[in-house]
């Protein structure tokens, strides 16, 4: 019952605890799987997301063309089912004669990577600040909360455009621009949950039993609010992907020749009347992935965090 147990006993305790957690997780998982079965749409969405992820990982293996090189001689080849199309370029080629399907598959890498990293960093920052602010309150909470309010006053896209215009395009800057404001929502969620959980009996019990504050936050409260964070993270993922596509569409995100869906849509804009496929397929790729992520996120929310469903 000490705040910092001796190393030996701590090791044994940790093993015991993790064993417990593992058993609980397995029980939870089967419960979770059972619950998810009531949401077939979310399962389909999960499969779609998985397909996107697999395509992104195995892009070099499943494509035959180079995503950044084309020949001007094969400019604007139509998709295979149209007159003049061939199975060499299933979804046709763009203004540089590059295979659109190949570029979409490689583009999935950018979108997923940006989505995962931007959300990941946002969660990390938001969770840490939110937990500290919600638990300790005081001046730290006031300062961070006001900063968060300030950031919330800006529309995300306008804000991101401003940041990107200032920093210049590029992958790293893109992540920075997206997380610069992305953490706020996680901060607010965690802070609110933290304040609510803090007063509950199990926290009281932990405190009475002599647990340290850090331990209470990390071992007692956080596991209880992680589900809500996870649901929000999933939903924000779709949003971040849209943001990346929007910035790339505006020429502020990923730069050519690296394929990104947003810039692919933009580059086909001028040819909509003659080569509609250049913009359309990357656009559908965005819709498909974001829709799948959102549907999956919703199913997840219904199962993990039914409270959010109200209203």
Partner 1 sequence: MRKSRLALIVLALMLAVVVAACAQPTPEVVKETVVVKETVVVEVEKVVEKEATVVVEKVVEKVVTPTPEPGRQTLIVALAGAPVSLDPADHRNRTTETVIRNMFDGLVTRDTRSGVHLELAESMEWLNDTTLEVKLRKGVKFHDGQEMTADDVVFTFERIITENAIEYPEPHSSPRKGLIAPLKSVEKVDDYTVQMFFSGPWPVANQMLVHQQIVPKHYLEEVGTKGFVEHPIGTGPFKFVEAQLDDKIVMERFDDYYGGAPDLEPVGPACVQRAIFRVIPEASTRVAALLAGEVDIIQDVPPELVETLQQTPGIVVKTAPGTRPKWVELNVNKPPFDDVRVRQALNYAVDKDLIVEELYGGRAVPLPGPLSPFNNFVNKNLKPYPYDPDKALAMLAEAGWTDSDGDGILDKDGQPFSFVMDTTAPIRSLAEAVAGQLRDLGIDVSVRVWEYSVVKPLLLNGERMAFARDWGDSAFDPVGHFEAKWHSRVEGSPYGRGNFSGYSNPRVDELIKLGETEIDREKRQAIYDEAQQIVYDEAPAIFLILPEEAEAASERVKNWEPASDSRINLHDVCLE
Return the number of the residue (97 or 212) whose C-beta is nearest partner 1.
97
Does the footprint of partner 1 cover residue 161 (CB under 8 A)?
no
Which residue's CB is nearer to partner 1, number 52 or number 135? 52
Residue 168 CB neighbours (<10 A): 9
C-alpha to C-alpha distance for 120 and 257, rounded to whole angstroms: 26
Number of residues that bind partner 1 (CB under 8 A): 51
Beta bridge partners of 99: 93
Member of 72, 139, 153, 209 binding partner 1 (CB under 8 A):
72
- 218 DSSP assignment: I
Please state, in angstroms and rounded to a whole number, the distance separating the CA atoms of residues 24 and 10: 21
SS3 assignment, position 78:
coil
Cα–Cα dist 191/144, whole Å: 11
Q: Does 307 bind partner 1 (CB under 8 A)?
A: no
Token code pair at residue 277? 């496929």
Asked if 1 touches partner 1 (CB under 8 A), the answer is no
Which residues, 262 to 281, sit near partner 1 by CB under 8 A? Answer: 267, 269-275
Between residues 85 and 257, which has the closer beta carbon with respect to partner 1?
A: 257
Out of 95, 136, 176, 280, point to the residue binding partner 1 (CB under 8 A): 95
φ and ψ at residue 99, rounded to 5 degrees: -70, 125
Residue ranges in 220-239 that form contacts with partner 1 under rule CB under 8 A: 232, 235-236, 238-239
| String of DSSP letters for 269-306 | GGGTTT-THHHHHHHHHHHHHHHHHHHHHHHHHHHH-G
Candidates 131, 80, 91, 137; CA nearest to 280 is 91
Closest approach of partner 1 to the CB of residue 238, in Å: 7
Residue of 18, 146, 287, 306 that binds partner 1 (CB under 8 A) = 287
Rule CB under 8 A: is residue 246 a binding residue for partner 1?
A: yes
Q: Return d(Cα 158, Cα 137) in angstroms, integer.
A: 31
* Residue 192 contacts partner 1 per CB under 8 A: no
Interface with partner 1 by CB under 8 A: which residues?
Answer: 41, 68-70, 72-73, 75-76, 95-97, 155, 157, 165, 169, 185, 232, 235-236, 238-239, 242-243, 245-246, 251, 255-258, 267, 269-275, 283, 286-287, 290-291, 294-295, 297-298, 302, 308-309, 311
């Amino acid at each position: 019952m000490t705040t910092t147990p001796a190393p030996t006993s701590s090791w044994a305790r940790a093993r015991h605890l993790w064993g417990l957690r593992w058993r609980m997780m397995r029980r939870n998982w089967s419960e979770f799987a059972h619950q998810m079965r009531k949401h077939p749409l979310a399962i389909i969405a999960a499969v779609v997301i998985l397909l996107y992820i697999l395509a992104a990982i195995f892009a070099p293996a499943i494509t035959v063309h180079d995503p950044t090189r084309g020949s001007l001689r094969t400019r604007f080849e139509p998709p295979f089912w149209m007159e003049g199309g061939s199975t060499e370029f299933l979804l046709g080629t763009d203004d540089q004669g590059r295979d659109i399907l190949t570029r979409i598959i490689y583009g999935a890498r950018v979108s997923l990577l940006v989505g995962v990293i931007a959300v990941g960093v946002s969660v990390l920052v938001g969770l840490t600040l939110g937990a500290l602010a919600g638990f300790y309150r005081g001046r730290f909470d006031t300062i961070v909360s006001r900063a968060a309010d300030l950031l919330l006053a800006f529309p995300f896209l306008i804000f991101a455009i401003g940041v990107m215009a200032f920093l210049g395009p590029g992958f790293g800057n893109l992540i920075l621009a997206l997380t610069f404001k992305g953490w706020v929502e996680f901060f607010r969620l965690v802070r609110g949950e933290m304040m609510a959980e803090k007063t509950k009996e199990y926290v009281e019990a932990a405190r009475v039993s002599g647990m340290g504050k850090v331990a209470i936050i990390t071992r007692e409260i956080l596991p209880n609010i992680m589900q809500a964070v996870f649901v929000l993270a999933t939903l924000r993922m779709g949003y971040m992907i849209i943001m990346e596509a929007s910035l790339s569409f505006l020429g502020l995100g990923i730069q050519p020749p690296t394929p990104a869906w947003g810039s692919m849509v933009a580059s086909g804009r001028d040819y909509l009347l003659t080569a509609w496929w250049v913009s359309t397929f990357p656009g559908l790729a965005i819709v498909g992935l974001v829709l799948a992520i959102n549907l999956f996120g919703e199913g997840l929310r219904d199962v993990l965090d039914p409270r959010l469903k109200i209203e």
